[in-house]
Amino acid sequence: MATEITVNVLVHQAKFIESEAKHTALIGGYGSGKTQGGILKVISKKMRYPGVPVAYYMPTYGLIEDVAFERFEELFNLFGIKYNLNKAKYYYDTPYGRIIMRSLMNPDRIVGYEVGYSLVDETDLLPTENMTNAFKKIIARNRKRLPDGEKNQVDVVGTPEGFKFAYNFFVKEKKANRVIIKAKTKDNPYLPEDYIEMLSDSYTPQQLEAYLNGEFVNLTSGTVYHRFKRTQNHTSRTIQPNDVLHIGMDFNVTKMNAIIHVVDEKEIDWKTTEATIIKKKVRIKSAVDEIVNAYDTAEIIALIKEKFPNHKVIVYPDASGENRKSSGRSDIDLLKGANFVVRKLSKNPFVKDRVNAVNMAFLDSNGNTLYYVNTDQCPNYTEALENQVYKNGEPDKTSGFDHPTEAGGYFVYYDQKGGNQSWGSSRTA
């Protein structure tokens, strides 16, 4: 029953429909065409695999009734596909076979059937744990053999609601067979002309990043490192044989953290305060590796020496390490005794100054970027930059996200501001 039907789709919808990855996510802002793209893929799979059931999931049966029924039937009519809806049992019968519809709210009902393709709509409306449990059930149902040895797929579409299931599955725990496609509200030319303006009047800048641009941002409170953007600040830079390693270090027993950086000089177009462009040589900082949750200073020294035996190491430590002692020697003395160059301030900068230095390095007021993170090599640092929030006016120190961000911040602050401060003693670099 091979049938070809031509329909106009948006670029991101086409990429999503054509993706052959085991798991593909279409993540976008409100009105960007996510649900339409998802339902188009469900119908295309149904036509491609006649007789093989496929499944469509939404958080509640109310949403299925209010949103999905109308969208499916519009497309069935557009394609000239006859259908019969069983409203009591939530499935469509078509000449190509059955489309099963289920709510995510009750994973216990995701049983008793097998399908060859599954699509989950609005994943992030559920709490992360609930969605994770439902997704496991969905994968278990997605086992019907497909013709010609094709692989089964389970895809998702939705708008990000902070760092929930979609972020964890496709970004934090990303794998080669998990693909994420982004869509912005402005990418849909069929919306009313004032739609984006109306959203802009109703939401905070942080919310608009999620609801217009489909970006994963912290929606619960103000994010400390608000200028860090995983995509814009990502670098593929890795450690090369002759690199000098600049290591920011935070001292905490059982929570020792080190963020390893390299520095490259580069000539860029620099915007001046007079609104002119000049050529300027700048230092581009890149976080390229990390050591997290080491037990103590001795262990982190051993790990650095083991991982980077042939590199010159310069450490930018927490200044309090001058007073903390292990085996009768201060943490700073231990670093110097390991033949690391130590560069430190006589005292730590104010928290607000350190945070501001990092934010301005990610993106300054003139649009210049001087700081990048290899998000693949530094997953914990990346997660901390995205998730640390303010609590009672100060960066929250109860989540553990403060340890890697402080470590990275000591180096960034020193590199940008240190020349005007008072130094503690150190070996000559």
pTM check: above 0.85: no
Domain with CATH 3.40.50.300 in the chain: 11-211
Q: Which residues contact 282 (CB under 8 A, 6 or more apart)?
A: 265, 266, 267, 268, 270, 368, 370
pLDDT in tens, the chain (429 residues): 455 667 789 999 999 999 999 999 999 999 999 999 999 999 999 999 999 999 999 999 999 999 999 999 999 999 999 999 999 999 999 999 999 999 998 888 899 999 999 999 999 988 899 999 999 999 999 999 998 889 999 999 999 988 899 999 999 998 999 999 999 999 999 999 889 988 887 777 878 889 999 999 877 777 899 899 999 999 999 999 999 999 999 998 888 999 999 999 988 887 766 667 888 888 999 999 999 999 999 999 999 999 999 999 999 998 887 766 555 688 899 999 999 999 988 888 888 889 989 998 998 877 889 999 999 999 999 999 999 988 877 898 998 999 999 999 999 999 987 544 433 333 323
What DSSP string describes 281-342? EEEEEEEEEEEEEESSHHHHHHHHHHH-TTS-EEEEE-GGGGT-EETTEEHHHHHHHTT-EE
- Give the position of tokens 């499935």: 91
Tokens of 262: 């390299």
CATH architecture of 11-211: 3-Layer(aba) Sandwich (3.40)
What are 172's two structure tokens? 């934090």
Q: How far apart are CA 172 and CA 376, in angstroms?
A: 9
Q: Give the dihedral of Cα atoms 81, 84, 86, 90; nearest 10 deg.
A: 0
Give the whole-angstrom CA distance, residue 217 versus residue 305.
Answer: 36
Residues of the chain with CATH 3.30.420: 245-420
27 in Cβ contact with 166 (< 8 Å) = yes
- Torsion-angle region of residue 293: left (phi > 0), alpha (psi -120 to 50) or beta? left
The class (CATH top level) of 245-420 is alpha beta
Characterize the bridge pairing of strands 277-294 and 329-330: unpaired
Cα distance between residue 336 and residue 323, in whole Å: 14
Alpha helices (H) in 142-227, listed in sequence order: 165-167, 195-202, 205-211
What is the C-alpha to C-alpha distance for residues 213 and 207, in angstroms, rounded to an integer? 10
The Cα 337–Cα 400 span in angstroms is 29
d(CA 303, CA 284): 26
- Contacts of residue 38, Cβ cutoff 8 Å, sequence gap at least 6: 16, 26, 56, 119, 121, 155, 157
* Residues whose CB falls within 8 Å of the CB of residue 348, separated by 6 or more in sequence, listed in order: 318, 319, 320, 354, 410
